[in-house]
């Protein structure tokens, strides 16, 4: 048991530290001479160009990775894209046909609701691509194509390295689609790939500087509820951050788009309520900062996860900085900070981090 933890106190911590490697492995597994190659990919460029709707489905953390895909598909492919939880999708099917692309994200490849949703989508003739961590899993058998993440076995129930390797696979797939459909030119494509190659080093930097997380955890652990806020792509990370924190620390945590706080949730802020904001996007930076000031004025303890580009402009009680990257790639960095906040809080509360109560690693019942 302790041997396979390789000196780390828990599997979860070991897996958090494996992220630079598994993200690099996932990226490299599809790179050939600077290009992205999916062996035996079943769809032609012409078929891909006809795709007019994209639905990303999944459950739990896999869903929170998937919502990055639909966001990027809108931004970078200009295709109408939606994210729907598998457990909803299966009972509330959209109109699907051969020009619809379903992207199913699942670490295990066995989640019952995602399987059931795919069965329905298949009947309607939609194209299905799975992003999964397990070769020849049930979900891969229902898909036209599977992109494997190279996260390796994930033992900790709360997903960490599977999530960031899903993000890496998503970034690569978006770039592949953008190039295949002429939405991005060769030189831009190359720049994006170069940036992706630099991601593991940037993740290492975050993992090399973990001093502040214990201090933050000691503040969060005192309260029974906490909030995450963010806008745009940072809101996606906020949702994953809230899930991580609640599942391993048992502190009730909710995520809000920062602009929505004042429409109800701000009523819950009291003395020392932790409010954690993710701030990496220039065009909404000032807005989120002012939301933080609003909650601070009502007694909140504020914690910011900032892009390095905002160093010196931070106004939170605790400030964490992640290295600069392309706007769309921040979640693969900020993910590590939200994991470290959750991890340190759970440890400070003596929780069983690897096996949180009531949770299963894979949910194969409906």
Residues interacting with ligand G6P, by CB under 6 A? 59-62, 106-108, 111, 114, 157, 159, 359-363
Q: 268: which 2 tokens? A: 């819950």
List helix spans (H) across the chain.
Answer: 11-17, 19-28, 45-49, 60-72, 86-89, 112-123, 138-141, 161-180, 186-207, 211-220, 233-249, 282-297, 331-348
Q: 247 in helix, strand or coil? A: helix
**77/84 with CB nearer ligand G6P:** 84
| Residue 279: closest CA among 217, 343, 334, 329 | 334
Please enumerate in sequence order all residues whose Cβ is within 8 A of that of 287, keeping only pairs 6 or more positions apart, or say none. Answer: 231, 258, 259
CB of 361: closest distance to ligand G6P in angstroms? Answer: 6
**Strand order, beta sheet including 100-106:** 80-85, 53-58, 100-106, 127-132, 145-148
Please enumerate in sequence order all residues whose Cβ is within 8 A of that of 332, keeping only pairs 6 or more positions apart, or say none. Answer: 23, 164, 167, 168, 171, 199, 203, 325
CB of 133: closest distance to ligand G6P in angstroms? Answer: 8
Which residue sits closest to ligand G6P, CB atoms considered? 60
CB of 280: closest distance to ligand G6P in angstroms? Answer: 23
**51/138 with CB nearer ligand G6P:** 138
Pair type for strands 35-36 and 31-32: antiparallel
Please confirm, yes or no, whether 361 is among the known catalytic residues. yes
**139/184 with CB nearer ligand G6P:** 139
CB of 316: closest distance to ligand G6P in angstroms? Answer: 29
Q: Which of 45, 190, 272, 361 is catalytic?
A: 361
Report whether 297 contacts 129 (CB < 8 A): no
| Residue 236: closest CA among 80, 90, 115, 58 | 58
Distance (Å, whole) CA 101 – CA 11: 35
Cα→Cα distances 210→17, 33, 71, 89, 312, Å? 11, 36, 30, 39, 20
CB of 3: closest distance to ligand G6P in angstroms? Answer: 25
**225/362 with CB nearer ligand G6P:** 362
CB of 159: closest distance to ligand G6P in angstroms? Answer: 4
Distance (Å, whole) CA 162 – CA 193: 21
**13/157 with CB nearer ligand G6P:** 157
**62/175 with CB nearer ligand G6P:** 62
* 36 bridge partner residues: 31
Catalytic positions are 361
């Amino acid at each position: 048991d302790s041997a396979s933890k390789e000196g780390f106190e828990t599997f979860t911590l070991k897996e958090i530290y494996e992220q630079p490697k598994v993200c690099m492995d996932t990226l490299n597994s599809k790179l050939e001479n600077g290009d992205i190659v999916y062996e035996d990919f079943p769809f032609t460029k012409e078929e891909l160009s006809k795709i007019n709707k994209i639905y990303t489905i999944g459950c739990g953390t896999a869903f929170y990775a998937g919502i990055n895909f639909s966001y990027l598909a809108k931004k970078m492919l200009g295709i109408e894209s939606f994210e729907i939880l598998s457990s909803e999708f299966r009972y509330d099917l959209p109109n699907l046909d051969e020009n619809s692309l379903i992207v199913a994200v699942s670490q295990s490849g066995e989640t019952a609701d995602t399987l059931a949703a795919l069965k329905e989508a298949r009947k309607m003739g939609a194209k299905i691509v799975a992003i999964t961590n397990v070769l020849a899993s049930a979900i891969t058998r229902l898909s036209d194509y599977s992109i494997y993440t190279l996260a390796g076995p994930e033992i900790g129930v709360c997903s960490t390295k599977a999530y960031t390797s899903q993000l890496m696979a998503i970034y690569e797939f978006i770039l592949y689609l953008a190039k295949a459909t002429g939405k991005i030119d060769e030189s831009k494509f190359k720049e994006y790939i170069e940036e992706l190659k630099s991601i593991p080093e940037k993740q290492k930097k975050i993992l090399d500087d973990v001093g502040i997380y214990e201090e933050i955890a000691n503040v969060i652990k005192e309260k029974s509820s906490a909030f995450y806020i963010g806008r745009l792509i940072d809101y996606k990370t906020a949702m994953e951050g809230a899930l991580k924190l609640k599942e391993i620390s048992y502190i009730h945590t909710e995520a809000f788009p920062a602009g929505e706080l004042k429409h109800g949730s701000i009523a819950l802020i009291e003395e020392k309520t932790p409010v954690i904001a993710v701030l990496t996007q220039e065009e909404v930076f000032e807005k989120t900062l002012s939301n933080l000031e609003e909650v601070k004025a009502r007694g909140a303890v504020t914690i910011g996860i900032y892009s390095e580009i905002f160093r010196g402009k931070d106004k939170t009680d605790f400030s964490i900085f992640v290295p600069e990257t392309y706007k769309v790639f921040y979640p693969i960095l900020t993910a590590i900070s939200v994991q470290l906040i959750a991890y340190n809080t759970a440890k400070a509360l003596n929780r069983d981090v690897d096996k949180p109560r009531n949770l299963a690693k894979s949910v194969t019942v409906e």
